[in-house]
Amino acid sequence: MIAFSPAKINLGLQILAPREDGYHEIETIFYPVPWYEAIEIITASATQLHLSGIPLPGDPASNLCLRAYRVMKNDFPNLPEIDIYLHKTIPPGTGLGSGSANAAYTLKLLNNKFQLGLSDTQLLTYAQQLGSDCGFFLQSTPCLATGRGDRLSPIDLQLTGYDLLIVCPNMHISTAWAYQQVQPTPHRPSLKSWITQPIETWKEHLINDFEIPIFQHFPELKHIKQQLYAAGACYASLSGSGSALFGLFRKGSIPSTLQFEKAVLHVCSL
């Protein structure tokens, strides 16, 4: 059984306060992006992860797909052993949520393939054990995310008529490190109050709090954002804690001559 897991971008990201559990209270808007990775599950004699495509750093045993299998195995001890085939197309450490998406879709695949009968609410409980944004990918519709990014409220937001250009530089930014660089600022207007305004006004209000410290450490990322605006983007931003940046362009207006050195690019219509 095969599934195709999408990416996401963040439209604004406010870091409001530290939490007692070590996370932070945030507010952001998750928007799904049609950039997919492939996951296949096959019954096997021993559970293993098989990777292809873009290499992943770190120990494969800690991969979120395997962790998704393990949290389900705890409650379903008769769950068969499996081979998980993951084909990576999205660079890791770019703030596009691909690891969380893969975990969420592994949960969905397990539920469907082995007819576990879990409801969306039950799947969400598993997803929240794996990552703050995992639950978003169970539905992949635009959402306002609060709490540590796990409290989701669907919003009516359609970006049809726009093309998206994502620029993934050849660098990996640690989310834990990025949070250490930010001073939380509470009591700000909700992003919901700005998302209904014309997109051309978003750059003044839909701010990603990670940008100031990350741009100070990695000025080349600030330069990419400047390039996106110079090329005609209506809105440009860092996604999550980076390192990917994206620009929203009126459909058909991305310049064909636009180039970024040593970066993976993805262009899609929304």
215: domain CATH number? Answer: 3.30.70.890
* One-letter amino acid of 99: G
Please indicate, yes or no, whether residues 115 and 171 belong to a single structural domain of this protein. no
C-alpha distances in angstroms, 201 versus 128, 173, 234?
A: 33, 28, 9
Of 154, 173, 200, the residue at which a domain comes to its end is 154
Please indicate, yes or no, whether residues 30 and 140 belong to a single structural domain of this protein. yes
pLDDT in tens, 242-252: 999 999 999 99
Q: Which residues contact 59 (CB under 8 A, 6 or more apart)?
A: none
Q: Which residues pair with 235 in a beta bridge?
A: 248
Please report the pLDDT score of residue 22 as a whole number: 87
Please indicate, yes or no, whether residues 120 and 239 belong to a single structural domain of this protein. no
Question: How many structural domains comprise the chain?
Answer: 2
Number of H helices and E strands in the chain, helices first, is 8, 10
Neighbours of 234 (CB within 10 A): 18
Rounded CA gap, 195 and 192, in Å? 5
What's the domain range around 255? Answer: 162-269
Please indicate, yes or no, whether residues 173 and 235 belong to a single structural domain of this protein. yes
Extract the residue ranges of the chain whose pLDDT is less than 50.
none
Please report the pLDDT score of residue 204 as a whole number: 92
Rounded CA gap, 181 and 259, in Å? 30
Please report the pLDDT score of residue 114 as a whole number: 97
Please indicate, yes or no, whether residues 139 and 260 belong to a single structural domain of this protein. no
Please indicate, yes or no, whether residues 150 and 172 belong to a single structural domain of this protein. no
Q: Specify the CATH number for the domain of residue 33.
A: 3.30.230.10
E-strand stretches of the chain? 2-18, 24-43, 48-53, 82-88, 143-146, 151-154, 162-169, 235-238, 245-250, 263-269
Please report the pLDDT score of residue 133 as a whole number: 94
Please report the pLDDT score of residue 172 as a whole number: 87
Residue 191 token pair: 């992003």
Please report the pLDDT score of residue 269 as a whole number: 95
Please indicate, yes or no, whether residues 134 and 169 belong to a single structural domain of this protein. no
Please indicate, yes or no, whether residues 143 and 167 belong to a single structural domain of this protein. no
| Cβ proximity of 37 and 102 under 8 Å | yes
- The residue assigned the tokens 């620029």 is 167
Active site positions, annotated:
8, 133
Residue 152 token pair: 């989701």
* One-letter amino acid of 119: S
Please report the pLDDT score of residue 44 as a whole number: 97
Instruction: Taking each helix axis as running N to C, give the angle between helix 120-128 and helix 98-113, from 0 to 180 degrees, rounded to the nearest 10.
Output: 140
* Local structure of residue 208 (DSSP, 8 states): B
Please report the pLDDT score of residue 12 as a whole number: 97
Q: Which residues pair with 32 in a beta bridge?
A: 8
Please indicate, yes or no, whether residues 114 and 177 belong to a single structural domain of this protein. no
Rounded CA gap, 39 and 76, in Å? 21
Rounded CA gap, 1 and 109, in Å? 7
